[in-house]
Amino acid sequence: MTENVYWILDTSVKEGELENVKALMNEMIEQTKANEPGTIGYEWHVSEDGKNVTLYERYKDSAATLAHLDNFGKNFASRFMKMLDIKKFVVYGSPDETATKALTGIGAKIMKPLGGFHR
């Protein structure tokens, strides 16, 4: 099907942190776009009440996934976790063994391809 690895990360915003989340989001988008050419899609969405943020991220392959996780860990993880609680983290695709270990190590559930297509 594809080597792409992608996920949906559902979070809840900690009390009083929405403006800080928006600032961090802008920084993360800028750095990801500038420094991670293997990132295909990187979107943040917020609920109408501002209490939940969902991220959709798509990477070219496992190497690009690992590059993003490394960048996130070094530059953003501690601030991200101070502002957001992870509710659900589901990864789609076929990450290699190294990427699978890294993703499951931070709580991801991996869903392997069963069928379908992309245009």
Note the pLDDT tens digit of each residue in 24-50. Answer: 999 999 999 999 999 999 999 999 999
pLDDT band for 72, please (50, 70, 90 cuts).
very high
Q: Where are the domains of the chain?
A: 5-111
Cβ neighbours for 16, distance < 8 A, ≥ 6 positions apart: none
Question: pTM of this prediction?
Answer: 0.94
Average pLDDT, the chain: 97
pLDDT band for 118, please (50, 70, 90 cuts).
confident
Q: Which pairs with CB-CB distance under 8 Å and at least 24 residues apart come from 88-91?
A: 88/8, 88/9, 88/10, 89/7, 89/8, 89/9, 89/10, 90/7, 90/8, 91/5, 91/6, 91/7
Q: For domain 5-111, say whether CATH 3.40.50.1950 is its number.
A: no
Q: Token match 């979107």: residue?
A: 43
Q: What is the pLDDT of residue 2?
A: 81
Averaged pLDDT for residues 108-113? 97
